[in-house]
Structure 1
Amino acid sequence: MIKALAIVPYEGLYEMMKEVAQEVEDIQLHIELGNLQEGAAIAREAEHEGYHVIISRGGTASLIQEAVSIPVIDIQVSGYDVLRILTLVKGFSRKAAIVGFSNITHGASTICKLLDFDIETLTITKETEVKEILTGLKKLDCEVVIGDVVTVQAARELGLTGVLITSGKEAILDAFEQTRRSYRIYSRLQKDVSFYKHLLDCGGQAIAVMDQEENLVYTNETFYKEFQWGKLRNLPGMKQLLQESLISNDKITKTLHLNEGFWNISTCTMDRHTIIMMNKTNFNQENVQGIDRDLSAIELHMSVPYIPMTGKSEAFQRVLQQIDEYSTMKDPVWIFGEKGTRKSVAAHSIYLKREQGNGPFIILHGERLKRDQLKDLLNEAFFHKYSNGVLFLKNVDKMSSYIQKELHAILQMEGSNNLKWLVSSRDDIAEKVSSGEFYPDLYHSLAALTIHIPPLRQRRQDIEDLVHVFISELHPKYGNGVVGIRQDALDKLIHYDWPGNVEQLRQVIEQLFLQSHAYYIEKEEVVDLFNQLEQQDKKNDALTPVDLSGTLEEIEKQVIAKVLEEEGLNQSKAAKRLGINRSTLWRKLKE
């Protein structure tokens, strides 16, 4: 029996490999999610756990080959994989390009010529070339970039839409065959090799050793359990600390917010390596007692993900122009709009453009912030300590009148001019100010600049692009065969009023994506789903009993459908309520 580990860069490939693995009997397969350095770190550990072969893809496979001595099988990108993605992006109205290594671009270029697709193809030889090429494409008004995980991640960082070329079943079966061949060749040559030296594990201290290329050569158990290196080293604060450590020979110590906690991090250099020692502090418990009682009232992030905002309507183009314009200013920005218009995404965009990821992004939830918590923040000089960051006051209109007045008092304090505020509220805030329901002085202090995000029903021409963006994001997440939507189905979506706006559209597309068994979402599927939403509006589902006369499987489907409806088709929330993970929910929906 061949003991193989698959390290895959996206969830859709994870699910597909699980499905294909059930068809083979001679390979005992374990699958892990991991990309690039994170995948390489997983591979190093796996080598010492007795795995015979590692299976991965693209750039992650190349890094793993350098990190381990056991055979590494690269899941090749087939012509079928390229054709499927090209068909998917055919529905985009925006200029597209393919960027990747030769294993992707050579075949893709041929297919584009055969099918007369007007898509430019650019070949890279190393990862560091990606950002420069994409920057050039952006200047040429290219908005959609197709490629591997490295290309897609870089595209999103630059504000482009990245579409991942996913691997199909055929490529996975071919990788399994290569696994068998490699195992036969290398099984007699395997040797026990240890790259790590034992370090003292000081209680809860997390310890790691990094080389000059920022690769980990050792981690202790605490570090391994607490952190994923691929994510940790790219956090802005951590990235700056590691860069300082590589340049300086002195010991450097900083406190950073990681994994929902505060860590004291010390680094020192030895023999061209950097030793990283991390201790979790009791900052939350001692210094921010109010926050400790209700951690959900405040979120402190050292980085936020880039989420593209797309729309070609005149109304939404105005929003994008305001985001760009206000990102060059330090004045407070008040973002208002209906529920689901993605006000938080607009705040993220301003933060990323203003700060380039330097300084924390602090979210204060207006509806959760209590009087005692605000006092504790003041007593511990919280606003002064994080004056180098951006404070996003979310749902400010849901704050109590007392908190509104106290917050206004904070803004009048000496030194408060250094605070950088972003604020969000529903679009009826002006009425609340006029009626006295919202404290006028606070509004005037924070509404120096305003952005109104119009509801989706007022910018229907944006729906087509949004639908294709959501499908392209779901494809690598779930890995099923959906590559587009029929025009008559799209017309149904365009003419719907969308009371939940963009978020509701995203949830509906996810539901349609999971329920569809064909390459294209059909009109009938959209009509059926809208009928479900209409029935949900007409009756109180909480009072509708589940029919217990059917089989256990039928009852289970009723319960899943009921919970999904109650959660507004939000898969994550439904899975959490049902006590299952999202992948299990997805499989049950397909049955």
Structure 2
Amino acid sequence: MIKALVIVPYKGLFEMMKEIQHEVEDMELDIELGNLYEGVAIAKAAENNGYHFIISRGGTASMIQEAVSIPVIDIQVSGYDVLRIITLVKGFSRKAAIVGFTNITQGAATICKLLDLDIKTLTIAKDIEVTEKLSKLKEHGYEVVIGDVVTVQTAKQLGLEGVLITSGKEAIIDALEEARRSYSIFSRLQLDVSLFQSILDCSDQAIGVFNREAKFVYGNECFHKEFLWMKLENSADIKKLIQETVLSHERQTKTVHFDHSFWNISACPKDDAAVLFFEKNISNQAIPQDGGVHLKAIEFHASPSYIPISGKSVMIQNVIKQIEECGKNGAPVWICGEKGIGKELVAHSIYSKRKRMDEPFIVLHCDLLSADQLKALMNEDFNQKHADGVIYLKNIDKLTHDMQKELYLIVTDGNTKNLQWLVSSESNIEEKVKNGTFNRDLYKELGQLQIYIPPLRERREDIEDLVHVFISELHPKYGNEVVGIRMDALEQIAKFNWPGNVEQLKNVIEQLFLQTNSYYIEKEDVESVLKRLEEQEHYNNPLSYIDISGTLEEIEKQVITKVLEEEGLNQSKAAKRLGINRSTLWRKLKS
């Protein structure tokens, strides 16, 4: 039996590999999700686990090949894959370019010429060229970049729309055939896991080893479950701890906030390296909610990705101009608008434009935050550590009256003068100030600059761009064959009122994407989903309208659809309520 580790760089390819896994009888396939350095970490951790080879794709495959001794099979990008993505982006109204290595651009350039498409094609030899190429494209007015994972990630960092060229089933089958041929050549067995490796992997404590330059050397099994070593390498606090330990040759103990959690770390010097032992500090992490579910009230983002705001209406272009202006200074900004309109996206955009070095983006969910958490968070240690940070007070109008007073004292305290404040609320905040339900002084202090985001129903010309953006984002996530939407279907979507605004539109497009069995979303599919949404507003119990005359499978699909509607088409919430995972939900909708 051939044993292979499959490391895929995006979720859609992961789902496709899962389906193919059941069809392959002569191979034992272990499938993991990990891109670039994440994929390398997974490969290094599994190097001595008896795999005959590793299957991956693109830049991730190249990096893994350099890092491990196991033969690596590359899932090649086929002409069919390129054609599918080019067809998908035809609906974009913005200038597009294809950027990638030769295996992508050669076929892409030929296809563009054959189809008479005005899509520029640029070839790179090394991944370090990507930023320079994309920056020049941006200067020349290009807004959409098509390529592999590293190209798409760089595009988003530069404020461009990135569209991933995904792999189809035929490319995976070709890779498996190549693996079978390779197995006849590379049939040697891997070395057994050493005794010390086994002992360390049995530990419940995360253990990592770093050299004096804070570069990752080793991590046990628990370490790789908890962390991505690349993120640890880039943490200023971790680097400082390692360097202090190596230079002093003395044991160090420190509490560090990393990856949304606080960790107690013991660092021990060993030759020219440091061994780190991690223990999670559960204080101030989350607050209990009804039903025993713990939701995080405080989130730390070291470097949230920049996502461009889409739309060509005068109103949304005005919002974009306001973001540009607000990004030039550190004054508080109050963002208001209806639920689901994208207030957090605007806050992220302002943060991205203000960010100079490593100051964090700290989100406080005011509807979850307790008074004790607010006081504990704003202590002297926090002010010193995050003096130049950006704090986003999400749904500030949900704070109690006492917490509003407490927050006002924090905001006007001289020790927090360097903190930058971003705030969001619903549109009726001025009414709340007038009737005394919201603190007038706090509003005056934080509302120096204001951005109002108009509801989607008032800027319907933005819907077309949003739909195409959502489809391009869903393609690498699920990996099915949908490449666009029919114009008459798009017209139906544009006519709808969208009480849940952009978030509701995105959820609807995701449902349509999953239930469509052809290359394009059809008008009939849209009418069916929108009709159910309208019915939901008229009936208190939509589940009572399930037709039980069909087969068990048909009834099950109706139940899933109704639960999705009740949960605002949120896939994660619906799956959790039904007691299944998202992959199962997706397969049942597709069946």
Q: What is the TM-score of this pair, normalised by structure 2?
A: 0.91
Counterpart mapping for 1:376-387 below 5 A: 376-377=376-377, 382=382, 386-387=386-387
Shift of 1:405: 2.0
Which residue of structure 2 lines up, in the alignment, with residue 463 of structure 1? 463
CA pair 104-265 structure 1, distance change in 2 beyond 3 A = farther
Q: Which residue of 2 aligns with 1:85?
A: 85
Give, in whole Å, the separation in 2 of the partners of 1:332 and 1:111.
Answer: 49
Provide closer, same or farther for how the CA distance between residues 269 and 373 of structure 1 changes in structure 2, counting only shifts above 3 A: closer
1:78 positional shift? 0.5
Residue 498 (structure 2) aligns with = 498
Residues 50 and 580 (structure 1), Cα distance of their counterparts in 2 relative to 1, 3 Å cut = same
Tell me which residue corresponds to 2:123. Answer: 123
**Distance of 2:42 and 2:379 partners within structure 1:** 44
Shift of 1:83: 0.6
> Would the alpha carbon gap of residues 585 and 291 (structure 1) be closer, same or farther in structure 2, given more than 3 Å must change?
closer
Q: CA 1:150 to 1:372, structure 2 compared with 1: closer, same or farther past 3 Å?
A: closer
Matched AA of 1:209: V
Q: Given that residues 326 and 449 in structure 2 are in contact (C-alpha distance below 8 angstroms), is that contact kept between their aligned partners in structure 1?
A: yes
User: Which position in structure 1 is the counterpart of 2:278?
Assistant: 279
Distance 1:587 1:269 in 2: 50
Partner of 2:363: 363
Q: 1:89 to 1:543 in 2, by over 3 A?
A: closer
Residue equivalent to 1:436: 436
Aligned to 1:222: 222
User: In the aligned structure 2, how far is the partner of 1:545 from the partner of 1:578?
Assistant: 18
The AA in structure 1 aligned to 2:344 is S
CA contact (8 A) 1:290 1:373 kept: no
- Partner in structure 2 of residue 177 of structure 1: 177
Q: 1:213 to 1:580 in 2, by over 3 A?
A: farther
Q: Distance in 2 between matches of 1:385 and 1:213?
A: 22
Q: 2:408: which partner in 1?
A: 408
1:263–1:569 Cα change, 3 Å = same
Q: Secondary structure at the match of 1:569?
A: coil
* Cα contact 1:249–1:268 (8 A) shared by 2: no
State the Cα distance separating 1:492 from its structure 2 match.
1.2
Amino acid at match of 2:63: L
What does 1:70-469 correspond to in 2, within 5 Å?
A: 70-187=70-187, 189-190=188-189, 192=191, 206-210=206-210, 216-233=216-233, 237=236, 245=243, 255-264=255-264, 274-275=273-274, 277-280=276-279, 282=281, 284-285=282-283, 288=284, 296-356=296-356, 358-377=358-377, 382=382, 386-469=386-469
* 2-structure distance, mates of 1:502, 1:329: 28
Q: Can you list the C-alpha shifts for 1:375-429, whole angstroms capped at 9, x where unaligned?
A: 4445776556533322111111122222222222223333232221110001111
The 8 Å contact of residues 195 and 217 in structure 1, kept in 2 or not, is answered as no
- After superposition, the C-alpha distances for 1:430-454 in whole angstroms (9 at most, x for unaligned) are 2222222222111101001111111
1:581 alignment partner AA: N
- Report Cα offsets for 1:477-512 as digits up to 9, x if no partner: 001100011111111111221111111110111011
Q: What's the % identity of the aligned pairs? A: 62
| Distance apart, 1:256 and its partner CA | 3.2
How far 1:569 moved relative to its partner?
Answer: 0.7
Residues 129-169 of structure 1: CA deviation (Å, up to 9, x unaligned):
11111111111111000000000011011111000001111
The answer (yes or no) to whether the contact 2:215–2:233 under 8 Å persists in 1 is: no
Aligned to 2:537: 537
Q: CA deviation at 1:261?
A: 2.0
- 1:82 deviates by 0.5
1:80-134 deviation digits (Å, cap 9, x = unpaired): 1001101111111101111111111111111111111111111111111111111
| Correspondence for 1:587 | 587
Cα offset, 1:217, TM superposition: 3.7
- Tell me, in whole angstroms, the C-alpha distance in 2 between the residues paired with 1:356 and 1:99: 28
CA root-mean-square deviation: 3.0
Decide whether aligned partners of structure 1 residues 95 and 368 sit closer, same or farther in structure 2, where only a CA change above 3 A counts. same
Structure 1 pair 197–546 and aligned structure 2 pair: CA distance change class (3 A) = same
1:42 aligned residue: 42
Give the distance between the partners of 2:269 and 2:139, measured in 1 at CA: 41
Distance of aligned partners of 1:75 and 1:548 in 2 relative to their CA distance in 1, 3 Å threshold: same
Gaps of 5+ in 2: none
Contact 1:316/1:453 (<8 A) preserved? yes
Deviation per CA, 1:246-294, whole angstroms, max 9, x where unpaired? 9x956798643224321255779978x7545143353x53xx5996897
Q: For the Cα contact (< 8 Å) 2:543–2:562, is it kept in 1?
A: no
Could you tell me the TM-score, scaled by structure 1's length?
Answer: 0.91
Q: CA offset at residue 356 of structure 1?
A: 4.5
Cα distance 1:341–1:221, how it changes in 2: closer, same or farther (>3 A)?
A: same
Secondary structure of 2:482 counterpart: coil
Bigger mean CA offset, 36-45 vs 525-534 = 36-45
Alpha carbons of structure 1 residues 71 and 146: separation in structure 2 relative to 1, 3 Å: same
Asked if structure 1 preserves the Cα contact closer than 8 Å seen for 2:339 and 2:501, the reply is yes
Q: Secondary structure at the match of 2:321?
A: helix
Indicate how the Cα distance of structure 1 residues 95 and 32 shifts in structure 2: closer, same or farther if over 3 A, else same: same
C-alpha distance in 2, partners of 1:492/1:341? 20
**C-alpha displacement of 1:182:** 0.3
Query: In the superposition, relative to structure 1, how do residues 295 and 30 fare at CA in structure 2: closer, same or farther (>3 Å)?
Result: closer
Q: How many residues matched?
A: 584
Amino acid at match of 2:8: V
Q: Which amino acid aligns with 1:124?
A: I
For the residues of structure 1 that align with 2:315 and 2:443, how far apart are their CA atoms?
24
Q: What is aligned with 2:66?
A: 66
Task: Report deviation, 1:472.
Answer: 0.4
Whole-Å separation in 1 of the counterparts to 2:236 and 2:317: 33
Question: SS at the partner of 1:5?
Answer: strand
Q: 1:479 to 1:549 in 2, by over 3 A?
A: same
For residues 522 and 453 of structure 1, the distance between their equivalents in structure 2, rounded to whole angstroms, comes to 30
Query: SS of the residue aligned with 1:544?
Result: helix
- TM-aligned CA distance change 1:130 to 1:275, over 3 Å: farther
CA distance in 1, matches of 2:183, 2:550: 49
- Residue equivalent to 2:25: 25
Deviates more, 1:520-529 or 1:376-385: 376-385
Q: Does the 8 A contact of 2:55 with 2:73 survive in 1?
A: yes
- 2:87 maps to amino acid: T
Residues of 2 paired with 1:17 and 1:377: CA distance? 44
Judge conservation of contact 2:336–2:424 (CA < 8 Å) in 1: yes
Distance 2:314 2:176 in 1: 51
